[in-house]
Amino acid sequence: MAELMSTPTTTETTAGTGAPPAAGATVWLTGLPSAGKTTIATALADRLRAAGRRVEVLDGDEIRTFLSAGLGFSKEDRHTNVQRIGFVAELLARNGVLVLVPVIAPYADSRAAVRDRHAAHGTPYLEVHVATPLEVCSERDVKGLYAKQRAGELTGLTGVDDPYEPPTDPDLRIETQAGTVQDSADALHTLLTDKGLLA
């Protein structure tokens, strides 16, 4: 009779080799629409995956579709959406995943609540302000939102006719108009290295 053997879990395998599990963390990239948040996150994620890191990018549009489809864009609904994303991010980060969150999160109190959730679990959390000026974001207009707002087809656009509260003390501030996407990704990579999150 064949002997039954169990497949070791990731934790067991890691423990068996004596290698410590990689530290997880959440990196929240906040900024105006078309600031370059997702572009930077994707570039960094590609680089880190190539180096063997477990990375997830929590895209705001995907979260809206699959977790927050019933929410609108009132302040209360935006807050709820950010808290849902923060919950998922912290859960992943607590389990060794480096989570990049390129989501506007326009309100300071919403971002603070996410930071507090991470702190309560001892999970590293970094806030990055992608501080691309409004006029540059409007010119890029990746999703056509600014054009729709100017045409009167859209209201509640963050930074135009809806508030955006920029971070006063972010862990990193990136001005994408001053360099390339690679420059921005490099700056973020350096931050993670300096914080000991890529060891």
Consult the annotation and say whether 86 binds a ligand.
Answer: no
Q: Bridge-partner residues for 126, per DSSP?
A: 27
Strand ordering across the sheet containing 125-130: 55-57, 98-102, 25-30, 125-130, 172-174
The CA distances from residue 75 to 30, 110, 138, in Å, are: 16, 10, 22
Burial class from Cβ neighbours inside 10 Å (0-12, 13-18, 19+) for residue 196 reads exposed
Consult the annotation and say whether 37 binds a ligand.
Answer: yes
Consult the annotation and say whether 35 binds a ligand.
Answer: yes
DSSP-derived pairing of the beta strands 98-102 and 55-57: parallel
Consult the annotation and say whether 36 binds a ligand.
Answer: yes
Consult the annotation and say whether 122 binds a ligand.
Answer: no
Consult the annotation and say whether 32 binds a ligand.
Answer: yes
Consult the annotation and say whether 33 binds a ligand.
Answer: yes
Binding residues: 31-38
Binding residues for ATP: 31-38
